[in-house]
Structure formats: structure tokens, C-alpha cells
Amino acid sequence: MNDYWRRNLRYVWALLTIWAVVSYGAGILFADALDAVRIPGTGFPLGFWFAQQGSIYVFVVLIFVYVFLMNRLDREFDVDERDEEVVT
């Protein structure tokens, strides 16, 4: 079970790092460079979009990625909850 939690923590840290880079990096640090690019059809600068909405979208996508990774990890370590019968 130790390998299970080690991989789980590795997934969490990797996904949190991606989110931090996108939200802090793209929304704040690289906003000026990204503002040179305009979103087609809207005219909004890309840096503004990442600061206001992009990091939220990335966070939601990362939630789905985490669910996918954890379901695969659960099946690999035979702790998948779908196969269990519910006793009432």
C-alpha cells in the first residue's frame, strides 16, 4: 500500500504544480508577454484571459485528469470500489 500512496502523492504534486504554473505564471508573471496575443473573435489579450478564466478551466480539467489517474491506480492496486457489492 505504500507504493499506492507514493504514486498518489506524486500525482497530486504534479497536478498542483501544473495548476500553479498556469494560474500564477500565465496569469501574473507572463501576462505581459501573453497580452501580445489576442484571442480570435474576442479581441481579449491572452494574459487577461488566463488571469480571469483560463486558470479556472485548467483547474477543472486537472480535476478530471486526477479522477482518471486515480481510477487507473485503484484498478492497478486492486482497490477499485466499483466491483464491490453494496449491502444495505
Residue 38's beta-bridge partner residues? 45
pLDDT for 88: 61
pLDDT for 18: 95
- Residue ranges of domains in the chain: 2-76
pLDDT for 59: 92
Predicted TM-score (pTM) of the model is 0.78
pLDDT for 7: 96
Rounded-to-integer distance, Cα 70 and Cα 81, Å:
11
Instruction: Collect the ranges in the chain with pLDDT lower than 70.
Output: 83-88
pLDDT for 84: 60
pLDDT for 8: 96
Q: How deeply is 87 buried, as exposed, middle or buried, from its count of CB atoms within 10 A (0-12, 13-18, 19+)?
A: exposed
